[in-house]
Amino acid sequence: MTTVSTAPVPASSRGMIARIEPFMGVLGPLVMIVMIAAFMGVFEPTRYFRLSNMNQILLDAALYMPMAMAMTFVITQRGIDLSVGSVAALSAIIVAFLMKQYGFPAWVCVFIALGMGGVMGLINGLVITRLKVPDLIGTLAMDLVYRGFALVLAKGLVLARFPDLITEIGRGQMFGILPTPVVIGLITMIAGYFILRNTHFGRYSIAIGSNPEASEMTGVSVDRHKVYAYTLMGAMAALAGLLLMGKLNAIQATSAPYFNLHVIAAVVVGGTSLFGGRPSIVGSLAGVLLLSMMINALVTLRIEFFWQSVASGVVIILSVAAYAWLQKKDRDGAGSIGAALANPDNRKILALALTFVAVLAVLMIAGALLATAPAASG
């Protein structure tokens, strides 16, 4: 028998970036966490690093942990779920009604909510796998459907004051010091880590995202495991809905508007590849913490609430771009602006951009010159 010897690439020749690449999922958010901490340490050390504020950051992060865990599986399979906010709101609204109007016991309602969320996720999965609607459109449309049902049910009502169990889930303390939602969030994260490493579902999620055709050929039931991922996502969104309802002790149809992008941002910042096959549960946890720290920092700095949206978007773009750059094999030849301008395509894009700037500048000047005294609107 012939022995085929392998020639491993020596680690030293692969360069720094290649060596740290497997750990980027955790390193990236950690570096950014340290940067935020350093920044806040300079500008607002007393208010940011107060124990109560640290607690606040954790409480905020806990809300997103279950969803980030489930979204890690969905994105690893090359999927996406844009309906999590509505699933959270609708399942919370449903059990809120069951408790307030029909007197259902709270502990039953907790499980009803999880089941409702699971069913909504299951529907998402069936829309994508059976009706062959692309995940982006399918979950976006189902987001409208679920939000619509929530509005139909609750109208403009704010449902408030729930049994103790619900508020305990949302803002209670365990063992005197640990906030209950943080414990719940961390448990889901640990469960996610275990599922990813040690179950068929976890293994097949990576395989499906890595190479769907190969998975099909080797006998992996691709559609079934996609449905599982969306079902898990739905149940975890419902759990987040419960956490939110308990935290605020109130719920309304328009609750949880920014869940989708926030959760996807946390997962992507954490190093899970949007192109599938590369999960990082630990990274997702770090991503959730990072986003909560960032938003808390904006609040602490008394920056207007609406800037949060800008900041989240910028962080998503930066992190995805950074991972895309790391994935690029050939990093030579880029970098200099002169080299980029040598490419005719780039020159045409630049010309287009400059044209827009020029036209807008002319319009602004014309508008300013022709301006009359503004009339009161309405």
List residues binding another protein (CB under 8 A): 1-8, 197-200, 202-203, 206-207, 209-211, 213-215, 217-220, 277-278
Nearer to another protein among residue 15 and residue 257 (C-beta): 15
CB of 146 to another protein, least distance (A): 32
CA–CA distance, 134 with 184 (Å, rounded to integer): 32
Nearer to another protein among residue 152 and residue 191 (C-beta): 191
CB of 277 to another protein, least distance (A): 4
Residues in the chain: 378
Identity (one letter) of the amino acid at 259? F
Distances (CA, A) of 188 to 80, 172, 183, 282: 19, 17, 9, 12
Question: Phi and psi (nearest 5°) for 314?
Answer: -65, -40
Nearer to another protein among residue 219 and residue 367 (C-beta): 219
Q: What angle do CA 209, 121, 315 make, to 5 degrees?
A: 60
The Cβ of residue 164 has, within 10 Å, a number of other Cβ atoms equal to: 10
CB of 121 to another protein, least distance (A): 22
CB of 269 to another protein, least distance (A): 19
Distances (CA, A) of 317 to 121, 261, 311, 364: 27, 12, 10, 29
Nearer to another protein among residue 22 and residue 134 (C-beta): 22
Place of tokens 């029909």: 102
Nearer to another protein among residue 213 and residue 332 (C-beta): 213
Nearer to another protein among residue 132 and residue 329 (C-beta): 329
CA–CA distance, 258 with 67 (Å, rounded to integer): 13
Give CA torsion, residues 174, 176, 181, 185, to 10 deg: -70
CB of 174 to another protein, least distance (A): 23
CA–CA distance, 275 with 369 (Å, rounded to integer): 50
CA–CA distance, 180 with 292 (Å, rounded to integer): 17
DSSP helix/strand/coil, 122: helix
CB of 108 to another protein, least distance (A): 26
For residue 78 the two structure tokens come to 């090359």
Instruction: Give the count of alpha carbons within 13 A of 9, CB side only.
Output: 7
Nearer to another protein among residue 14 and residue 348 (C-beta): 14
CB of 291 to another protein, least distance (A): 25
Q: What is the enclosing helix (H) or strand (E) of 158? A: strand 158-160
CB of 1 to another protein, least distance (A): 5
Q: Which residues contact 50 (CB under 8 A, 6 or more apart)?
A: none
CA–CA distance, 121 with 202 (Å, rounded to integer): 18
CB of 197 to another protein, least distance (A): 7
Nearer to another protein among residue 14 and residue 331 (C-beta): 14
Nearer to another protein among residue 27 and residue 36 (C-beta): 27
